[in-house]
């Protein structure tokens, strides 16, 4: 399927058996959209159908059937838990709105036991797999997960998902969800999954650009207990320096996560440099590509817009329409 060319699309949902993870009953979609992001539950959907069982929640899967020049494809767009929050009575059309949460919702809804902790020396990937066992969705964890160097203790009201995110941050890995509801856990990407532009031109203008440096500090204070260290940008070559901006812009951090053998002064200098790194963010609409998910690396090559570089996808929202429009936000790959 050439996703840069035109096609005919139809959408429907199916009820999913959480035990087998297979489809059963088919229900036509009247309208719908799905949102994907790189944090929290990662996915959600708003879908309207003509009928749905209001007495209980159901696992559902949204599908797109595509036809293009005699060929066809069956593409899952969203899988999760659906319920009916309310209904409208006395209208000429029967429109049932579904509120749909991602496959991570069961992990968000289960609190950890008091005193739970992730032990130092354990595989981060194994711990994540164990924490996500509360959801029926298939979980795929890549081999070679880093080990935890320190303990991670659960805080008050800590749930399985927030602990998963803490472990991911510590080991530097990421979590993605495919359209059919598979949870993928693995390291950060090292190469783009695709290149938009030239031969695969699916980005539709206008493109909104944002590289706001206004809030970047030129003075950083690191505080640890009763000790403080201050780093200042006094460089003549730095456009953000005190001299060039002709004023001071301070930032303070008291929850300092020092590297091994790193002094507080070195930490302050490092964090000042990190906070001064401006990130180019882009917002645009594009055509659909089932292989591209939040946290993926992509390459954009649109010299006519002055855009050529590698970016990380933060969000993409999919509208279930004839063009399967995707509204996307990306940041410069750091």
Q: What is the mean pLDDT of residues 44-50?
A: 94
Confidence of residue 55 (pLDDT cuts 50, 70, 90): confident
Q: Judge whether residue 317 has pLDDT over 90.
A: yes
* Residue range 107-129, pLDDT digits in tens: 999 999 999 999 999 999 999 99
Q: What is the mean pLDDT of residues 139-146?
A: 97
Residue 88 pLDDT:
60
Q: What's the pLDDT at 259?
A: 84
Q: Which pairing describes strands 297-302 and 307-319: parallel, antiparallel, or unpaired?
A: antiparallel
What rounded mean pLDDT belongs to the chain?
93
Distances from the Cα of 322 to the Cαs of 10, 65, 67, 124, 325, in angstroms? 8, 11, 12, 42, 8
Banded model confidence at residue 190, pLDDT cuts 50, 70, 90: very high
- pLDDT(302) > 70: yes
3-12, 112-121, 204-213, 248-257, range with the lowest pLDDT: 204-213
Please provide the DSSP assignment of 120-137 as one string.
TTSBHHHHHHHHGGGS-S
Confidence check: pLDDT of 279 > 80: no
- Kindly give, in sequence order, each residue whose CB lies less than 8 Å from that of residue 265, ignoring residues fewer than 6 positions away: 229, 231
- Interval 237-272: pLDDT, tens: 888 999 999 999 999 999 898 888 899 999 999 999
How sure is the predictor about 77, in pLDDT bands with cuts at 50, 70 and 90?
very high
CA distance 96 to 59: 16
Give the separation between CA 4 and CA 217, rounded to whole angstroms: 42
pLDDT score of 265: 96
pLDDT over 60 at 219, yes or no: yes
Of 50 and 180, which is predicted with more confidence? Answer: 180
């Amino acid at each position: 399927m050439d996703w840069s060319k035109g096609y005919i699309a139809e959408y429907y949902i199916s009820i999913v058996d959480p035990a087998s993870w297979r489809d059963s009953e088919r229900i036509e979609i009247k309208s719908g959209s799905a949102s994907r992001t790189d944090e929290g539950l990662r996915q959600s959907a708003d879908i309207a159908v003509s009928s749905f069982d209001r007495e209980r929640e159901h696992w559902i899967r949204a599908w797109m059937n595509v036809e293009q020049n005699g060929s066809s494809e069956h593409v899952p767009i969203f899988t999760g838990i659906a319920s009916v929050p309310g209904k409208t009575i006395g209208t000429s059309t029967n429109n049932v709105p579904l509120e749909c949460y991602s496959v991570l919702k069961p992990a968000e809804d289960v609190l950890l036991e008091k005193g739970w902790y992730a032990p130092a020396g354990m595989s981060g990937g194994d711990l994540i797999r164990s924490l996500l066992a509360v959801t029926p969705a298939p979980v795929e964890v890549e081999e070679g997960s880093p080990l935890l160097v320190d303990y991670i203790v659960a805080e008050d009201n800590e749930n399985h998902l927030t602990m998963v995110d803490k472990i991911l941050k510590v080991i530097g890995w990421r979590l993605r969800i495919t359209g059919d509801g598979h949870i993928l856990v693995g390291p950060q990407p090292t190469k783009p999954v695709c290149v938009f532009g030239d031969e695969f031109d699916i980005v539709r203008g206008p493109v909104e650009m944002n590289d706001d440096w206004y809030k970047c500090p030129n003075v950083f204070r690191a505080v640890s207990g009763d000790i403080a260290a201050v780093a200042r940008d006094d460089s003549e070559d730095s456009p953000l320096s005190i001299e060039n901006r002709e004023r001071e812009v301070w930032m303070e951090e008291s929850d300092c996560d020092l590297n091994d053998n790193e002094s507080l002064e070195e930490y302050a200098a490092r964090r000042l440099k990190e906070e001064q790194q401006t990130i180019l963010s882009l917002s645009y609409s594009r055509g659909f590509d089932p292989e591209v998910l939040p946290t993926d690396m992509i390459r954009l090559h649109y010299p006519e817009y002055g855009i050529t570089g590698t970016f990380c996808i933060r969000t993409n929202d999919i509208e279930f329409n004839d063009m399967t429009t995707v509204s996307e936000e990306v940041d410069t790959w750091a």
